[in-house]
Amino acid sequence: NEEPMIIDKYLTNQSPLFRKLKSWQWWVLVVVNIFFLIAGQAAAVILGRYYYDQGGNSKWLATLVQTAAFPILYIPLFLLPASQEVSSSSRYPSFVTLALVYLVLGAILAGDNMLYSVGLLYLSASTYSLICASQLAFNAVFSYFINSQKFTALILNSVVILSLSAALIAVNEGSEGPSKVSKWKYILGFISTVGASAIYSLLLSLMQLSFQKVLKRQSFGVVLDMQIYTSFVATCICIVGLFASGEWRTLSGEMQGFGKGKVSYVMVIVWTAVSWQVCSVGVVGLIYVVSSLFSNVISTSSLAITPVVSVIVFHDKVNGVKVIAMLMAIWGFASYIYQNYLDDYRSRKSRYDGETRNDP
């Protein structure tokens, strides 16, 4: 009985566009963005693994496609205009400050995407996704030190369980990379994926810190600008890396030798890039409609879908240890999201009670 009242109160704090929405319309918008995030991320990971399986080998190209389609983000910017509310800050950051923020975060994003590409090259899609679930554990730690988030018993339980889940995958003798990669390449893929998850969590915390301390607001337009310009910087770095490493010379041969033909090669590259940006639309949408924390939690939960899809598409081996690791990851995720549900509920209830007392 209390939920619609809380939702209505939440909607009144949004831009004029969302003030016109009824609670069921708001939920529809949330569900649509969740679908974009989950479908985009799962499709991108599966297509990325397919690229490697069919003969692709360019790590820089696999990294480039993760951000190259960033102009797609202008579509929601046109469809959902930014709020015209005045920022609480009396002064907007200078161009130099903004450029520095976008350059630093974009460079971190490029390095993070490269680590993800290396991890996906040497790991199966299901193993890769299970290891990526450790992102929540890193997110809790970085949020505690950078964003002053509380470290409760449920959060600690989540960190421990997710860490043990990743450790099980690491020591599992039955875990194999694609095409029976060597043990050392498997270890490299594992370390790269864990490192990428840690850096991505750090990136999220730094973005939140930038919103709070530098931009001092988090409207739809500001969040989209953050996504677009950091992706632009990361794309430029990847293009430089592609040419500096000499991998661009091998792309023609890759296309010629691709298992399913040239057209399939081009389609895989294009749709991988599109899928990552569809995922970004969902991420940005959830940040604006709900919160950045909720967006991150849904992003991580979607990783539980990829192992199932990869088993169907690639026939990945699923042994007992991997099943236990998946169940532990779900347990850790459930602890994390329940703690954030409690925090969010108490915050909204406290705010609503305070407004009720002040309203005669």
CB count, 10 Å around CB of 110? Answer: 23
Q: Where are the alpha helices (DSSP H) in the chain?
A: 3-11, 16-19, 23-53, 59-64, 74-79, 95-122, 125-132, 135-146, 153-171, 183-210, 220-244, 251-257, 262-289, 292-301, 305-314, 320-358
Lowest mean pLDDT across 126-130, 175-179, 310-314, 322-326:
175-179
Dump pLDDT digits (tens) for 180-212. Answer: 678 888 889 989 999 998 998 888 888 878 887
Dump pLDDT digits (tens) for 150-180. Answer: 777 887 787 788 777 767 766 664 555 565 6
CA distances from 222 to 85, 102, 226, 266, 356 (A): 12, 12, 6, 33, 31
Between CA 279 and CA 6 the distance in angstroms is 28
Scan for tokens 């409760």, then name that residue.
Answer: 152
Per-residue pLDDT, 71: 92
Between CA 176 and CA 172 the distance in angstroms is 9
Tell me the two tokens of residue 147. Answer: 């964003």
On the question of pLDDT at 84 being above 60, the answer is no
Per-residue pLDDT, 128: 85
| CB of 83 closer than 8 Å to CB of 16 | yes
CA distances from 360 to 266, 278, 284, 354, 357 (A): 64, 46, 37, 12, 7
The mean pLDDT value for 113-120 works out to 94
Q: 114 Cβ partners below 8 Å, 6+ apart? A: 59, 60, 63, 238, 241
On the question of pLDDT at 18 being above 70, the answer is no
pTM for this predicted structure:
0.80
Per-residue pLDDT, 242: 95
Cα–Cα nearest to 137, from 333, 292, 339: 333
| CB of 165 closer than 8 Å to CB of 130 | yes
Per-residue pLDDT, 144: 79
CB count, 10 Å around CB of 252? Answer: 9
